[in-house]
Amino acid sequence: MATSETAQPQLLLVEDNRAQALMMQRMLEEGGLEGEVVHVGTLAAAKEHLATSRVSCVLLDLTLPDAARLDGLAEIRNVAPEAPVVVVTADNDAGRGIKAVQSGAQDYLMKGQMDSAQLSRAIHFAIERAHSEQQLARRALHDALTGLPNRVLFLDRLTYALARSERQGSSTGIFFLDLDGFKGVNDRLGHLAGDELLRAIAGRLLAEVRPGDTVSRFGGDEFTVLVPEVTGAEEARSLAERLTEAVRTAVTVAGEEISLTPSIGCVLGESRDRPEELLDRADRAMYAAKRHPDTNYELSPQG
């Protein structure tokens, strides 16, 4: 079984008919498709391979012994949502192929009506189409300046974290940060310098969180941090202090050392809470923190 890192592009051929699989492999060779072809005969074997390997495309037969109709496609999409899929249907079964495309496949071909050029072209276009779709999806869910998740993706991850919090027996931490004095820097040094400062601070915040946490640029000079598992108020305060120090560390921009202090609003959420209401509470706590000269963060009471 291949590992998740492959030296060359890999195509996964899922076909239970050995003769049909050999014929398609010959077509792929004739079509000049580069890369390794891995053949499996069942949906179960395909899922096992996809769990440990990254493939450039899946060529999927819709008549497998352990998958009925479009169930196989649904399972493949669930295990490897980013892998492009070209489905192969029985002779004259165009209707099922169209339904497969409507269900997430990039293309379909009919057995007995395809040649090597058509097969290779379908796979090539499927890979390119999937790449374009992924790029569009990324742009829709990430901030163009910093590359961080935007508020749409942040809310989606917050919703998921709250759903899990009841099973985990812990709270979900939300931290709302605003950069005090950023407007003055932007006005004095210009927007390019301001953008450079925002990118630097985004990197600092990312360095302070765990792999499962989320740092988001919420808009302007506002950032949000999602920590799915927080044991209580003391841990939340400790993280707020770490985030503060990360932001305060001087950044050299346009030949000048700049140090800003964030105002941070913190809130601990439970599964019963609504994501938008938690963000609103964190936002209000952030503005309350701005009024405290002795500390730069405010922990909103639960409930």
Where do the domains of the chain lie? 10-139, 151-299
> What is the C-alpha separation between 125 and 84, in angstroms, rounded?
10
Class of domain 10-139: alpha beta
Q: Which two tokens stand for residue 283?
A: 């936002």
Calculate ∠ Cα 200-206-209, nearest 5°: 150
Q: Widest CA span of the chain, in angstroms?
A: 77
Give me the tens of pLDDT residue by residue for the chain, a chain 303 residues long.
344 444 467 999 999 999 999 999 999 988 888 889 999 999 999 999 998 888 999 999 988 999 888 999 999 988 888 899 999 988 677 788 889 999 989 999 998 889 999 999 999 999 998 888 878 877 888 999 999 999 999 999 999 899 888 776 779 999 999 999 999 999 999 999 999 999 999 999 999 999 889 999 998 999 999 999 898 999 999 999 999 999 999 999 988 999 999 999 999 999 889 999 999 999 999 999 988 767 788 888 765
Question: Same CATH fold, 151-299 and 10-139?
Answer: no
Written as one string, the DSSP assignment of 45-66 is: HHHHHHHH---SEEEEES-BTT
Catalytic residue among 213, 221, 273, 283: 221
Q: What is the number of alpha carbons within 13 Å of residue 102 lying toward its C-beta?
A: 7
Distance separating the N- and C-terminal Cα atoms of the chain: 50
b/e for 30-57, b at 16 or more Cβ within 10 A?
A: ebebebebbbbbbbebbbebbeebebbb
**What's the CATH number of domain 151-299, 3.30.70.270, 3.40.50.300, 1.10.10.10, 3.10.310.30?**
3.30.70.270
Concerning whether 221 is annotated as a catalytic residue, the answer is yes
